[in-house]
Amino acid sequence: MTGEPLLRITNLRKAYGDKVVLHDVQLTVRQHDVVCLIGASGSGKSTLLRCIDLLEPVDDGEIHLGGVEITDPLVDVRSVRSRMGMVFQAYNLFPHMTVLENVTLAPRKVHGLSAADAEDRARTLLARFGLADKADEHPDRLSGGQQQRVAMVRAIVMEPELVLLDEVTSALDPELVGEVLDIVRDLAERGTTLLLATHEMGFAREVATNVCFLHEGVILEQGPPAQVLGDPREERTRQFLRRVL
């Protein structure tokens, strides 16, 4: 696909007081891309994702989603967010709702689906990810991996144009990481456009179309995974990879 990419970020800047968290970030995500953000804790990966989902106001630069500048203060924030799905490191499921209620809330209240349609969709997707028998449980009865899979289903149930994943496996025990990554892989194979912050280098190498290395709020290097992870140009990238591999 040529022409306007799905997500285009130019000269993005974000600071908390004197601390500059993102500096002059340029990033392009085309439809069906799987872009992995890597970098040490505090390098700005999460902040970048939160800026894209309009959970944080940016201090300069522009973010375009499908040709629309979403950093425009007059933009309809809710409609922009409803075009994206976001999954958080700590799952952030609603503890007072069942799994099914968690997943059907946005379809019913934001997208205007009937309760029956929303439930249909939710149950189909839950079944696809091996959660069919958990639909009526509350989140505190689920393992971390199951909770994160539910959070994933909740984010993609309305088939968003772009899915943002913020270190979705970082809070999990090692033996639970696989079941969550399997879902991400499944989404990638179905052509979902993904932008994810991750510490799973093996996974990034396997599924990413592009890898971006962030260091102190700057994208130091980006390119195909084989190049960035296998033959990095920057000394910083090499240092980082030596530490995590």
Partner 1 sequence: MTAWTPSPRQAERDAVRRRLRTRRRLVASVATLVVVGGLVTVLVLSPGWETFQETFLSWDHAKASFPAILKGFAWNVLMFLVAEPLILLLGALVAVTRSTVSPALFPLRLLATVYTDVFRGIPTILLIYIFVFGVPALRLQGVTTSIFWLGITALVLSYGAYVAEVFRSGIESIHPSQVASADALGLSSAQSMRFVVLPQAVRRVVPPLLNDFASLQKDTALVGAVGVFDALFAARDYTNFNFNFTPYVVAAAFFVALTVPMARYTDWLAARYARREGAGAR
Site for partner 1, rule CB under 8 A: 50, 53-55, 78-79, 81-82, 84-86, 88, 90, 92-96, 105-106, 109-111, 139-140, 144, 154-155, 171
Cβ-based burial of 37 (10 A; exposed 0-12, middle 13-18, buried ≥19): buried
Residue 93, amino acid: L
Q: CB 110 → partner 1: shortest distance, Å?
A: 4
Q: CB 143 → partner 1: shortest distance, Å?
A: 11
Phi, psi for residue 206 in degrees, rounded to 5: -75, -45
Q: How far apart (Å, rounded) are the C-alpha atoms in residues 140 and 44?
A: 30
Residue found under tokens 């201090």 = 59
Of 38 and 87, nearer to partner 1 (C-beta) is: 87
Q: CB 127 → partner 1: shortest distance, Å?
A: 21
Q: How far is the first Cα of the chain from the last one, in angstroms, to the nearest whole number?
A: 34
Of 139 and 225, nearer to partner 1 (C-beta) is: 139
Determine the distance from the C-alpha atom of residue 167 to the mean position of all C-alpha atoms in its chain, rounded to a whole number: 8
Determine the distance from the C-alpha atom of residue 177 to the mean position of all C-alpha atoms in its chain, rounded to a whole number: 16
Say how many CA atoms lie within 13 Å of 185 toward its Cβ.
13
Q: CB 114 → partner 1: shortest distance, Å?
A: 17
Of 37 and 142, nearer to partner 1 (C-beta) is: 142
Q: CB 232 → partner 1: shortest distance, Å?
A: 32
Q: CB 70 → partner 1: shortest distance, Å?
A: 13
Of 151 and 219, nearer to partner 1 (C-beta) is: 151
Q: How many residues does the chain have?
A: 245
C-beta of residue 29 within 8 angstroms of C-beta of residue 162: yes
Closest CA to 195 of 65, 4, 2: 65
Of 90 and 218, nearer to partner 1 (C-beta) is: 90
Of 5 and 139, nearer to partner 1 (C-beta) is: 139
Say how many CA atoms lie within 13 Å of 67 toward its Cβ.
3
Q: CB 230 → partner 1: shortest distance, Å?
A: 34
Of 76 and 133, nearer to partner 1 (C-beta) is: 76
Sequential DSSP letters for 19-57: EEEEEEEEEEE-TT-EEEEE--TTSSHHHHHHHHTTSS-
